[in-house]
Structures are given as C-alpha cells and as structure tokens.
Homo-oligomer: A and B are copies of this chain.
Amino acid sequence: MKAYQEMTKEELEELKAELDTQYADAQAKGLKLDMSRGKPSISQLDTVRGMMDVLASTSDYRNEDGIDCRNYGALEGIKEARVLMGEIMGVPYDQVIVCGNSSLNVMYDMITRSMLLGVLGETPWCKLDKVKFLCPAPGYDRHFAITEQLGIEMIPVAMTEQGPDMDVVEQYVNNDEAVKGIWCVPKYSNPQGISYSDETVRRFAALKPAAKDFRIYWDNAYSVHHLYDDRQDEILEIISECEKAGNPDLVFEFASTSKISFSGSGISAIACSKANLEFIKNAMTIQTIGPDKMNQLRHARYFKDLSGVKEQMKKHADLIRPKFESVLSCLEKELDGLGIGTWIKPNGGYFITFEAMEGCAKAIVEKCKAAGVVLTKAGACFPYGKDPKDSVIRIAPSFPTPEEMAQATELFVLCVKLASVEKLLEVKKGA
C-alpha cells in the first residue's frame, strides 16, 4: 500500500470515505474494552491462587528469626521477604526495607519525607523556593502526578533507545542545585519497554550532583517481567554501580510484586545505601507500626526464592505474550509502510508505545473512545500531561482477553488511519 503522505488530496478523500464507513460499522458493534492501564488479567491472578493457602490456620507464623509475624514489630520487614525482594533487585537483603502493598506509596512517602524532613540532614524541600525533578518522557504518569501534586517543577528529558538523554541529565543534575531527583523506570520502561544500556547506568552512577540531596528514583518495576525465554533484557545493578563510582547514597531503588503476585495485595520494597536506609528507618519509626508481615511471610513462603519468582513470571509471560503479539502483528499488517506511525517491540514490561504522526494522538484516542475502546489519555506519559508533539499513545494489552485485544487493536489501527488522513487533508487544505 502507498504511504499516506504520498497520496493526492483526491486519493485521501476517497480513502477517508472508506474509513468513515468502516468506523461507523465499528461504532455500531458497541465495543466496551479497556486498554488504558497496566493491569494484570484475571488469568494472571489465577496463576498465584496457591499463595492463599500457605498461611492456613494451622501454620507457624514465626519467621526464620522467630518473629511472630502477626504482632507488631520488624519495621524494615521480615528477613526472608527482604532476601526475596533483594534477589529480585539484585541487592543484599540488609540494604532493603520491605513495605506494604504499594511501591507507588513508598515513592510518595520518600518524596513527602524529603519535602518535610529533608534528605539525610539537608534542608527540607518545603523550605526551598524551587525544587525540580527531571522526567524522562514518555514516562510513567503516576510518577509525574506525584511531583505535580507536590508543586515540584518537572523538566522533561527525551528518551533514546539507550534510556534518558544523558547529556541533558548530566547538564541539569551537575549544575542546578534545585534539581533534586529524576524519575527512572530503567528496565522495560513504562511506556516504551526500553531498557537502559550499561553506559547509561554507568553515567547515572557517575553523576556529580550540584545538590547533595539529589537522588535517582529508580523504579525497577519490571525487573523480572520478561515476555520471552530467549530474548531478555538485563541492566546493570545501580546500587553497586553507584558504590563503585564513589556515590553510594545517590539512588533509591523501588520494586514490588504487584505484577508478580496480586496487583492490589503484593509487597513492595525500597533499596539503598545503609546511610539512606537508616535515615528512612528513623523517619518510619514515627510514621507507622510497621508493614503487614503476614503478607510478607505469605510471599516468602510461596515463592521461596528468585527461581520461584521466575517460574511464576513464565506463567505470566505465557498469558501476556500472545496479546502483545496480537497487537504487534495487527500493527504490522495494517500500518506497515503507510508512514503514519511507528512502534517499539519490547522484550518485556506491560506496554507498547505507538508513535503517531505529529498532532494525531489526541484524535486517535478520542476516536477509539467514541467507539468503545478506552486507551490511556493522550499526553499522560508526559509531565503535566503535555505531549509536545501530540504523537505518543500507550497501549496496555495485559487486561483484556486475546480476542478482546484483537478487536481493540483492529479498531485502534482504523482510528490511526482515519486520524492520519484527516490530519493530512487538513494540512493540504491549509497549504
């Protein structure tokens, strides 16, 4: 098929008429599908049902240190859960605090703590005129929502195939004392599925921040979330890289089992240097009675170790992979060669990022919605919801069934075509 840009006005108008008919037919189907959030499917959740039996009423609820997990105590989490989460992140257990069911909340707490108490003895951010965060974009909307809510100025940094543009990162971090953090999803990034190259990680570890309380917020959300057995990304372990570079306190790393066990009832963790850990523990002593250790014990006894987690993730991959492939094959079949969009084939994670022609993302998302398919809001992957090119769309294939996914993608490509034709006609009219 001919690339759309090469079509004459007449060809485009003819095409539009055809697409309009198809779209009307699609609308008539009354679809009701949601591809908006990285939410595990029911089948995925069912793979871990067995976890609900490991703490049956006849169990011994003491952990390997003899702590009764039902009672108060063990602010930093129980040993075996710290070991497990440490293995997932590649970090020794004594640099890990295991928390509740939401790593997002752990990040939020880390930021509010920095606002109110300061980081390791530095001035609390709420006393400063200006606090800035770097935001590799496209990125995770809920990261950006935290910094936006708290009045932290967000500076977008472009993503490359190797991770964030490190020239820009270094320029800001090493020179601007108001820059206190950067949001990173280093592996199978949300939404692009990009994994940071070794060079990128090393450049992160070697930063020379102008601000003593600058930290990298390393949200390692998809560390074991591979789609394939034979095509897996690996990234360098950031905490030891920072140590090697003489910057041991530079990073806070986050992880959770939300997309390993149950999305609402997993366990989460923060890993960092021992100095950071002590600071966090001291603050947490006032904040909480401690985490839900029964859920930690449940996870540790069920998964046992990293190999148990990997087994579990293979089951997830078997369920998610066909959906990714269904989306990707539909994109290829329907859009290849048309010049109206590009996409990345990730090896893991939860998303496919589609880059439409400039100025088309909002229109595509609206058209999908009007025909019953909800996508993540256009712009959501950018600070303040502003995609400068209005071109990036995040597709989340995990929740729908494969059949629903196929239907939804068919509609999606139709909307891409239609919005692109309309945009090109608009341009021609303007010219």
Contacts and interface: CB of A to CB of B under 8 A. Distances in A.
A102 B288 CA distance: 6
B293 A264 contact: yes
Interface in A33-81: 37, 39-40, 42, 45, 49-53, 55-59, 61, 68-74
A72 B37 contact: yes
A149 B142 CA distance: 28
Nearest to A268: B289
Interface string A255-287: 000100011110000000000000000010111
A45 B71 contact: yes
Interface residues of A, number: 58
Nearest to A46: B70
A283 to B, nearest CB: 8
Interface in A1-29: none
Contacts of A127: 126
Contacts of A295: 265, 292, 295
A150 interface: yes
A292 B115 contact: no
A291 interface: yes
B56 A52 contact: yes
The copy count of this chain in the complex is 2
A93 interface: no
Contacts of A71: 39-40, 42, 45, 262-264
25 contacts: A45-B61, A45-B71, A51-B57, A52-B55, A52-B56, A53-B56, A69-B264, A71-B262, A73-B264, A100-B101, A101-B291, A101-B292, A104-B287, A104-B289, A108-B288, A115-B126, A116-B150, A145-B286, A146-B287, A149-B283, A149-B286, A258-B289, A263-B289, A264-B290, A265-B293
Question: 5 tightest A-B contacts by CB?
Answer: A265-B294, A105-B288, A126-B126, A49-B57, A70-B262
Given A108-B286, A265-B292, 17 more contacts: A42-B68, A52-B55, A53-B57, A56-B56, A69-B264, A72-B264, A100-B100, A100-B101, A102-B288, A102-B289, A105-B287, A115-B126, A124-B126, A146-B286, A258-B289, A292-B292, A295-B295
